[in-house]
Amino acid sequence: MGLFDGKKGLVFGIANDRSIAWAITQALHAEGAEMGFTHLPDADPERPKMFKRLSKLVDGIGPKFKLSCDVTKNEDLDRVFETAKAEFGEVDFVLHSIAYAPIDDLQGPVHAVSRDGFKQSMEISVYSMMDITGRSREILKEGGAVLTLTYLGGEKVIPGYNVMGLCKSALETAVEYLAHELGPEGKRVNALSAGPLKTLSSSAVGDFGKMLKLYPAIAPMRRNVTPEEVGKVGMFLLSDLASGISGENLHVDAGFHIMGAPPADAKFEAEG
pTM passes above 0.85 = yes
Number of Cβ within 10 Å of residue 237's Cβ equals: 24
Task: Please list, residue by residue across 12-38, b when 16 or more beta carbons sit within 10 angstroms of its beta carbon and e when fewer do.
Answer: bbbbeebbbbbbbbbbbbebebbbbbb
The predicted pLDDT at position 201 comes to 56
The predicted pLDDT at position 202 comes to 47
Residues 6+ apart with CB under 8 A from 251: 152, 193, 257
DSSP per residue over 31-85, as a string?
Answer: TT-EEEEEEPPPS-TTS-HHHHHHHHHHGGG--S-EEE--TT-HHHHHHHHHHHH
Residue-wise pLDDT tens digits, 54-83: 999 999 999 999 999 999 999 999 999 999
The predicted pLDDT at position 214 comes to 86
> Of how many residues is the chain composed?
272
Nearest to 23 by CA among 81, 97, 128, 133: 97
| Contact status, residue 156 vs residue 259, Cβ threshold 8 Å | no
> d(Cα 55, Cα 65) in Å, to the nearest integer?
10
Domain positions in the chain are: 8-252
Residue-wise pLDDT tens digits, 1-25: 899 999 999 999 999 999 999 999 9
CATH architecture label of 8-252: 3-Layer(aba) Sandwich (3.40)
| 151 labelled catalytic | yes
Q: Which of 100, 127, 161, 177 is catalytic?
A: 161
Residue-wise pLDDT tens digits, 212-234: 788 999 999 999 999 999 999 99
Q: Which of 100, 127, 151, 177 is catalytic?
A: 151
| Contact status, residue 13 vs residue 38, Cβ threshold 8 Å | yes
